[in-house]
Amino acid sequence: MKNRIDLHVHSTASDGTLTPTQLVELATKYKLKAFALTDHDTTAGIDEALKAAAELNPQLEVIPGVELSTHAEGRDIHIVGLDIDKDSPAFQKHLKDFRNSREVRNKKMIQKLQEVHIDISDEVLLDMFGDTVITRAHIAKYLHQKGYVRNIWEAFPRYIGDGAPCFVPRGKIAPRDAIRMIQEANGVAVLAHPLRYEFTSSELEDFVSKLAGEELDAIEAIYSMNGPGDEQDMKLLAKRYDLKLSGGSDFHGMTKPNIRLGFGRGNIDIPYAIWRELRMS
């Protein structure tokens, strides 16, 4: 219990609803030993989290991280980077390219939404959310607040979910680009939530084997949305390709209200030893 950690967490720097300081407070309340802040395409929340931990709970290890969206096999594949040297100029330059590709994608999605007579623009999103990395979760919130959908989840199948009418995929950055960029910043590269990509099990195995050949360090075997047996399956898959294990809740605060920091849906318990092993990569 005392050893519990969480290696996949979002703050208000992307689409989470808690500030980095509030995350530190919650991690303290839940007695976590460490958590990684892994916002989408940004490290903007990390300094605040490190500062809050130093002031409020020096025992708590805050691991600088990031979650990068890449494209492979016709899918949006997420790679988490852990313990990155976030101040590396090369790393920040690459991150900026990721955010630019996101902004280009967002503009195209906004245009498609306008074409179906939705009153939306860059400016109204900036007004509502401020200067943060705008994701589809933000667009869903906007559509809900303006009454276009009954709840934020409805926005995905109707408008902006993968394959929905106003969805636009990201530019084609490959997982190996993200892996390289993370490792060049001395970080550990993890395939996030391997079971969320709708691969068949043999397709997933082929894909993981390919990423293992591209120097992937680990797969996120322990994950909030896992069903019975999934964690064990992913652990065996990792073993077959000599990959390490990671684990995280993918906590987003009220964006994903059924997921609790460090505990997921009550189905995860990630010991500190997972991080110790991973860091040896």
Q: Are 42 and 99 in contact (CB under 8 A)?
A: yes
Residue 161 interaction partner, one of Mn ion, ligand AMP, none, beta carbon < 5-8 Å per kind: ligand AMP
C-beta closer to ligand AMP: residue 135 or 226? 135
Question: In whole angstroms, what separates CA 181 from the centre of its chain?
Answer: 16
C-beta closer to ligand AMP: residue 53 or 195: 195
Secondary structure class of 57 (helix, strand, coil): coil
Enter the tokens of residue 165.
């009418």
The least CB distance from residue 126 to ligand AMP, in Å, is: 15
* DSSP run (H or E) holding 104: helix 89-115
| Binding residues for Mn ion restricted to 173-192, rule: CB under 5 A | 192
Q: Which stretch binds ligand AMP (CB under 6 A): 47-55, 83-91, 133-141, 206-214?
A: 133-141
Q: Which of residues 253-272 bind ligand AMP (CB under 6 A)?
A: 255
Shortest reach from residue 229's CB to Mn ion, in Å: 21
Counting contacts by CB under 6 A, is residue 40 touching ligand AMP?
A: yes
Closest-CA residue to 5 (of 231, 252, 277, 271): 271
> Which residues does residue 245 pair with via DSSP β-bridges, in sequence order?
219
Residues 6+ apart with CB under 8 A from 277: 244, 245
- Chain residues that interact with ligand AMP, rule: CB under 6 A: 15, 40, 69, 135-137, 153, 156, 161, 252, 255
